[in-house]
Every structure is written in structure tokens, then in C-alpha cells.
Amino acid sequence: LISNTKLNGMGRWGDAYMTQEEDWDRDLLLDPAWEKQQRKTFTAWCNSHLRKAGTQIENIEEDFRNGLKLMLLLEVISGERLPKPDKGKMRFHKIANVNKALDFICSKGVKLVSIGAEEIVDGNVKMTLGMIWTIILRFAIQDISVEETSAKEGLLLWCQRKTAPYRNVNVQNFHISWKDGLALCALIHRHRPDLIDYSKLRKDDPIGNLNTAFEVAEKFLDIPKMLDAEDIVNTPKPDEKAIMTYVSCFYHAFAGAEQAETAANRICKVLAVNQENEKLMEEYEKLASELLEWIRRTIPWLENRVAEQTMRAMQQKLEDFRDYRRVHKPPRVQEKCQLEINFNTLQTKLRLSNRPAFMPSEGKMVSDIANAWKGLEQVEKGYEEWLLTEIRRLERLDHLAEKFKQKCSMHESWTAGKEDLLSQKDYESASLMEIRALMRKHEAFESDLAAHQDRVEQIAAIAQELNELDYHDAATVNARCQGICDQWDNLGTLTQKRRDALERVEKLWETIDQLYLEFAKRAAPFNNWMDGAMEDLQDMFIVHSIEEIQSLITAHDQFKATLPEADKERMATIGIHNEIVKIAQTYGIKLSGINPYTNLSTQDISNKWDTVKHLVPLRDQMLQEEVARQQANERLRRQFAAQANIIGPWIQTKMEEISHVSVDIAGSLEEQMNSLKQYEQNIINYKSNIDKLEGDHQLSQESLIFDNKHTNYTMEHIRVGWEQLLTTIARTINEVENQILTRDAKGISQEQLNEFRASFNHFDRVRHFFFFLFPPLQKRNGMMDPDDFRACLISMGYDLGEVEFARIMTLVDPNNTGVVTFQAFIDFMTRETAETDTAEQVMASFKILASDKSYITVEELRRELPPEQAEYCISRMTKYVGPDSPAGALDYISFSSALYGESDL
């Protein structure tokens, strides 16, 4: 008999094999109900195997007596050949055959005690049942293994796991836990939900539940009915051996499905990783293409330096550029930063999942995008400076053009009719007195002509400057200037001709009234002075600082100081006219009322003098208004400088703090992440200060303020610094995220990571300077050169030769950059302990789904895998080429290699 105690480490009764001495006493007390259940169950179990050999047994203690069917049973269940049985029918022949069977059982590691061939030949029921139970244990239960438990415990754990989700099922043993039939139905439903509607089963119908399980198992699972529902229900404690035997058949029936399910799960997991990585690659390619296309479209716009012809158009260009910097570019800066983050995250995921590194399409590498971005910023840098220069040029042009028109109008007004006057031959019929009068008048005209020479030169100078500044209507200016110059030359010629004519008759002239002449000589320069004064008082001006307007005010004050002296000249000139009137009245001379030597009258002089006095306070008001405007501009400069002098150092400080947080902060990566997130939020919250500064900058530009002596920071400096700050914090957060991803994927502890970091930081001697248009900031670069890296490895116990160190450097610095990053250092330190799937594991999983074939069919993929993963494999697997392969066979071996970059698929 089989015993209850341990035997050769094989387990306890019901778990493995038992010693037969102790089991003898137990079997002598075997419950009749249990014996009945064992006879039925063991008989059905034996027949489930014997039918494969075309035979069966009816009576378990009778049909095994000659040993022939016993030997056949062992051959079927073991797949091995036993010695040739004896042919005779004598008792000793039967004993010999049974002994051959018992010897075979012993050869499989089962020690049989007190079971002899004679008891089997004599038909001892209890001994026969014990022997069959030993066979069942050895060949049906012993090899069951679930999570380091085997035999009975393994089978029980398997049952518990499969039935755990089901209501009213609680498998704790192999007797009363199965009485209501729900556990058996749950096992079937778990693997074949199409065979049983578990929701319709009732706990108070155990016989119905058991019969349902027996019938479904026999009809659809090829598991013969080994038990009677009534016997199980009506027995207080069903026989454990019978239940274990029957349940083990379910384990073996579903073992293949379990193995296929495990293989399918592994494949799905690998495919999910590849699909996710491919999605990330597609997103990177799309984002990179869009960003490069935006840069490609934007650069020609920034390179277009064709100036507009009007101030309004150029100011619109400046406004468009401000919109570009504030609205259009910031999202692209974010996209560029996100693109780098996505690229680093993707490479980390590929590395952690044992996949080859991602190589973007040609021209879409991170370095390509960085070079394109650098080209954009180089073009952008000069664009705003060009815009402001052009606006200054147009402002100057508008001022000069207006001044040119004003001077031309005054000159043309003065020259009107002068050519006709000079062309007259009135001297031919004039009297002697009239001739002399004409001569004096001509001399006065020459004096006036000489006084206007300066204005003509000013007009020519302004026209030349407009040409040099590329004024858009230079043709009109040149034509008008040329007309004035040609007219001036003609006036000079006509003047000389008239003088010559008058001089020819000068000897005929009598002495002309000297007072008229004196009046004319004094009135003309004074009149010209007043014309100049009115011109100056109405002269337009353009200034950009308080100092410049103050200079104009000083000049105006100096002019006002000359007014008393001018008034004296006016009174003296009018006094001459009064003297003429007095003489005429004294000597009874009838005056015509017209000075023969000039067209100027005392009324003309008085009117112009009144005009000059009226223009003086207007000029005062205009200058004071400009003072107020310049003071307002100065306030804008100070307002901008006050903010810029705070924001600039703030950005510098944050850059330094971020560099220290990522290297020197103590604690876990999550704590570092929280700290960096807080820094990021503080930076984001600071954006309102940048926006306010942008508003002040816009006000300054609208007020045509182009310099600021109160600060070294320009808006461009602040913009670049802000963009660099946002990019740096985002990159630093991404580095910590990748370290967390690496730590979790590699299974390293926080203590190990801290130890790695401490070792790395100790030897991290590489530094670089960060230039941000501010004073240089020195910070850690988070890299080691090869010598420091070698020293670090030696300090951690590595015995490095030149060849081995060169091999390690190819792993941590594949691009031969000459430095080792912290991420590469972590990858190397955790490389040997990484638990990642391999191409060989995936091949083995596919082989299970393909039933050990070297190829797999479309039907098998669609049956074993979820639809999405199945179609993914079908679309990428190549056709299998091999002998006797069916049409449509697919090559899963090359596909598995391709998943890990080991082939060109």
C-alpha cells in the first residue's frame, strides 16, 4: 500500500508518493464510498489512456491481473517500451508480467513497499487501487508546477488562480471545495466561456452543476466522466484521490492553452512596445517636418530686407515682427524643446526595451533642427536692427522732404516774376532820373539775390541728402531742385545783362535821392533778416533726447536776445522813410508813394515785424511741448530699465539654481522632480513680468525711442534669456524623468542610484560657460571626460585593461564625443542586471503558438493574438520559404530578429 509519510523527498500523501507500511493501515479502513469513487475514477482514467491503444478495462482488479493491460497502460502514458511480456497464462507468467510493470514504476523514482505482484495477480482491490494511484501521481500530477510549487500544491494553486474571479467558488482542498460543482464549471468557463453560461448556475443545485461539468468535459474536452454527481453530493467528504485525478485531467487539457496564452501575452507585450515606439517615431517625424517647414517659410521673410517707401508701412513691418516674436515664435520654441524631449524619451525607451536606436529621416536629426534654428536666429537677429534703422531713415527722409518743400515754396514765391522783371527794357524810354532809379533798384535786387544764394544752396544740400538716403520720390525732388538751380542760373545771367545795360546809360543818370537809396539798402537786408527769422521760427525739428531739445531752446533764447537790436534797426529804417516824407513836406515835393529803389514799404516792414513777434511765443510753446515729450520718453526709458535690471539678474539666478538642483540636490529623483516642477511653476508665474516689459518695450518703440542709457539689457537680451530659461528647465525635467524611467525599468533602488550619482559627481570635472548676453555663468555640464570616467570605474572596483576600457567607451560614448553623460553612466552600471525581453524569447513564444513549427499561419496568428497585434504581425512578416510549407506560411523568426534590430526587415 501507499503510505502517508514522506518518501525520498517526493512529498506527502496526495502530494507525491507515500510509504506503503503506513498506508496499509489507512487503506484497511478505506471508506466504502471512497472505494467506490476510486474504482470508478481510476477505471475511467485508465480507459482514457488505454483507448489510445484500442482497448479498455471493465473491472479494475480483474483486468490487470495478468499484467498485460497494466504494461500497455504504462507504455501509453510514458511513451516508452517495456520488456516483452510473457505469453503464457500460468500464474507465474502473470506474476512475471506484473513484476515487469512494477519494476518500470520503480525505475521512475517510485519506491514501492509492500506491493507485490502476487497481490495484484490475486485481485486485491485495495492494493490494485493503491498501485493505480501511484501511477496517477507519478505520471499525471508530479510534473504539475505553478510558481515554485509542484504536485498537489501546484495543482491546488492552479485551481485557486483560475477560479479566483468567480462568485461562490473558494477552492481550499480536493474534497468538499468541489461538492457544489461550481469550481469545475468555473475551470471550464475560465478557459472555454463558450461552453458554459456561468451566470445561470445556482449554488443550491450541486447535482445539476456537477452533471453539467461532466457532460461538457466529456463532449467537448475529451475528458471521460470519472465521477457520479450523486456520490459526491451525498458523501460528507468526497475522496481526495478521485477528485485530484479528475481535476488533473482538466489541467492537462488546458495546459496547452495556458502555454499558448503565456506566449501570446509575451508577444503582445513586445508588439505593444514596438507599436508605441513606432507611434513616437511617427510623431517625431511629423513634428520635425512641421517645425522645419515653418523655419523654411520664415527665413525668407526675415531675409527680405526690401525697405518700404513710407513710415506707416515700415512701422507695420515692425508690428508684424513683434507679433512674430510674441505670438508666432514662442509656440515654435516650445515645439523645438518638446521635440528634443520626445527624441530623448524615445531613445531611452528603445534602449530600455533592448531595441535599436531611432534614426530619423535624412535632414530631421535633432542636430539638423538645431542648425536650422540657429540659422533662423541668425537671420532674425539682424532683421529688427534693420527695421529700426529703416524707420530712422524714413523719419529723417520725411523731415527732410517737408523741409525741402517748405524752402522750395518760399524760394519759388520770391523768384516769381523776377525773370520778367529782369527782362524788361524800361530803361530805353525812361528819363534820366528814372534810369538812375532803375540802376539803384537793380543794385538792391542784386543785394537781395545774393542774400537768397544761401537758401538755394540749402535746397541743393537737402536734395543731395535725400538722394543719399534713397528717398522714394527722389525723381520729383531732383526735378524741382534742378528747376530751381536752372532758374537761379538764369536769374544770374539776366541780372548781369540788365546791369550791363544800365551801366551803359549810367553816365546819363542824375544823383538820385540818397534817402530812398539808403532806405532801400537798409530795408532789404532787414527784410531778408525777418524772412530768415520767420523761416527759422517756423522751421521743423526732430530730436531724440532732452539734451537736443535743450540745445534748440538755448539757440531760441539767443535769438530772442537779438530782438531789441533788430527793433532798433527797424526804427532806424522807418526813420529814413520818415525823413523822406519830412523833406518832401518841407520842400513841397509831391511823392508818388513808391520808393523807386525797392518794393518794400514801411508797412511791409511793420507787418513782417508783427509776424516775427507773433511767431516767437508760438516757437516757445512748440519747444516746451517737445521738452514734455522728451521727458515722457525719459520716463519710459527709466521704467523699462527698472524692470529689465530686475528681470535680467533674475533669469541669471534661475539658470544657476537649475544647474545646481539637477546635480547637487539630495534625496530621491521624485524629490528632485518636485523641486524642478516648483522651479518651473515659479518661472511660468514670472511670465507676467516679461509680458509687462514687452508692453513697455512696445511703448518705447511707438515713441521712437531707440536707445536707453539706464540699462545694459535690451528686450532682445531678455527674450533670448527667457527662451533659454524655459528650454533649460524643460530639458532638466526631462533628464530626471528619463532617470526615473531608467531606474524603474532597470529595477535599481534609490540607494543604488544615489551611489551612482555620488560617484559620478565626484569625478564630474567638466565645466562649460553659458553665455546669455549677460555676464558669463559657470555651471556643471553633467559630463565626465574619459580619464575621469576610468578613475570612477576603478574606484568602484573595475579591473580595466586598455582593450576592456575601449570596449566600455564604445558603449557609453557610441558617437565618440569624448564625454560620458550621467544617463550613459547609469545605463552602463545597470546593463548587466536589466531584465528585458530578447529576440530569442519572442521566437520561443511564436514557436509555441505555431505548435513547434518553423513557420506560423495567418489563421494561427488571428486565433491566438488580439486583432490589432495579429494584423500588425501579418502586415510585417515575410513569406516563409521552406520544404512542405503551406501557402501563406509566414516567417516569425526573421520578424522576431527585426523587432530587436538584428535583421534588415
CATH number at residue 379: 1.20.58.60
Is the Cβ–Cβ distance between 163 and 169 less than 8 Å?
Answer: yes
Residues 235 and 119 in one domain: yes
**Predicted pLDDT of residue 592:** 62
Residue 106 has pLDDT above 50, yes or no: yes
Q: What is the mean pLDDT of residues 220-233?
A: 88
Residues 484 and 338 in one domain: no
- In whole angstroms, what is the distance from residue 580 CA to residue 584 CA? 6
User: DSSP states of 677-739 as a string?
Assistant: HHHHHHHHHTHHHHHHHHHHHHHHHHTT----TT-S--HHHHHHHHHHHHHHHHHHHHHHHHH
| Number of continuous H segments (helices) and E segments (strands) in the chain | 34, 8
- Please write the tens of the pLDDT for every residue from 478-495: 998 999 999 899 989 989
**Boundary-marking domain end, from 380, 411, 442:** 411
**Predicted pLDDT of residue 692:** 93
- Please write the tens of the pLDDT for every residue from 238-275: 989 889 998 989 888 887 676 777 777 778 888 888 88
693 in a domain, yes or no? yes
Q: What is the DSSP letter of 325?
A: I
- In whole angstroms, what is the distance from residue 440 CA to residue 420 CA? 18
Residues 332 and 431 in one domain: no
- Report strand pairing: 783-784 vs 777-780: unpaired
- Please write the tens of the pLDDT for every residue from 59-79: 988 888 898 889 999 888 888
7 in a domain, yes or no? no
User: DSSP states of 250-288 as a string?
Assistant: HHHHHHHHHHHHHHHHHHHHHHHHHHHHHHHHHHHHHHH
Which of the four pLDDT bands, split at 50, 70 and 90, describes residue 501? confident
Residues 254 and 290 in one domain: no
Element spanning 116, H or E = none
- In whole angstroms, what is the distance from residue 304 CA to residue 325 CA? 17
Residue 210 has pLDDT above 90, yes or no: yes
281 in a domain, yes or no? yes
Q: Look up the domain containing 681 and give its range.
A: 629-742
Residues 658 and 683 in one domain: yes
How many distinct structural domains can be found in the chain? 6
Within 8 A by CB and 6+ apart from 901, the residues are: 355, 356
Residues 446 and 311 in one domain: no
Q: Give phi and psi for 820, each to the nearest 5.
A: -120, 120
Cell output for 108: 521512475
Residues 227 and 309 in one domain: no
826 in a domain, yes or no? no
**Predicted pLDDT of residue 46:** 93
| C-alpha angle 566-568-574 in degrees, rounded to nearest 5 | 105
Q: What is the mean pLDDT of residues 768-797?
A: 60
Residues 512 and 613 in one domain: yes
pTM for the predicted model, two decimal places? 0.52
Q: What is the mean pLDDT of residues 144-173?
A: 84
14 in a domain, yes or no? no
In 3-state terms, what secondary structure has residue 113?
Answer: coil
Which amino acid makes up residue 885?
S
Within 8 A by CB and 6+ apart from 507, the residues are: none
9 in a domain, yes or no? no
**Predicted pLDDT of residue 848:** 87
Which amino acid makes up residue 834?
A
**Predicted pLDDT of residue 646:** 94
Highest-confidence range of 20-29, 397-406, 521-530, 808-817, by mean pLDDT? 521-530
**pLDDT: is 430 or 350 the higher one?**
350
334 in a domain, yes or no? yes
Residue 643 has pLDDT above 90, yes or no: yes
Residue 828 has pLDDT above 90, yes or no: no
- In whole angstroms, what is the distance from residue 156 CA to residue 173 CA? 7
- In whole angstroms, what is the distance from residue 711 CA to residue 468 CA? 33
**Predicted pLDDT of residue 206:** 94
Residue 324 has pLDDT above 50, yes or no: yes
Q: What is the mean pLDDT of residues 586-592?
A: 57
Which of the four pLDDT bands, split at 50, 70 and 90, describes residue 528? very high
User: DSSP states of 788-855 as a string?
Assistant: HHHHHHHHTT----HHHHHHHHHHH-TT--S-EEHHHHHHHHHTTT-----HHHHHHHHHHHTTT-SS
Q: What is the mean pLDDT of residues 581-590?
A: 62
**Predicted pLDDT of residue 471:** 80
Residues 256 and 340 in one domain: no
Residues 402 and 260 in one domain: no
**Boundary-marking domain end, from 267, 289, 312:** 267
Beta bridge partners of 878: 891
Residues 286 and 345 in one domain: yes
**pLDDT: is 196 or 820 the higher one?**
196
Q: What is the CATH number of the domain that holds 884?
A: 1.10.238.10
379 in a domain, yes or no? yes
- In whole angstroms, what is the distance from residue 826 CA to residue 832 CA? 11
Residues 559 and 687 in one domain: no
Beta bridge partners of 891: 878
- Please write the tens of the pLDDT for every residue from 599-615: 888 888 999 999 999 99
Within 8 A by CB and 6+ apart from 602, the residues are: 573, 574, 577
Within 8 A by CB and 6+ apart from 202, the residues are: 208, 209
**Predicted pLDDT of residue 571:** 93
Q: What is the mean pLDDT of residues 687-704?
A: 88
In 3-state terms, what secondary structure has residue 146?
Answer: strand
**pLDDT: is 724 or 435 the higher one?**
724
Is the Cβ–Cβ distance between 190 and 213 less than 8 Å?
Answer: no
Mean pLDDT (the chain) is 82
The proportion of the chain whose per-residue pLDDT surpasses 70, expressed as a percent, equals 88
**Predicted pLDDT of residue 772:** 37
Q: What is the CATH number of the domain that holds 104?
A: 1.10.418.10
Is the Cβ–Cβ distance between 385 and 458 less than 8 Å?
Answer: no
Q: Which residue has the cell 528585458?
A: 836
- CB-count exposure of residue 189 (10 Å: 0-12, 13-18, 19+): buried
- In whole angstroms, what is the distance from residue 268 CA to residue 842 CA? 10
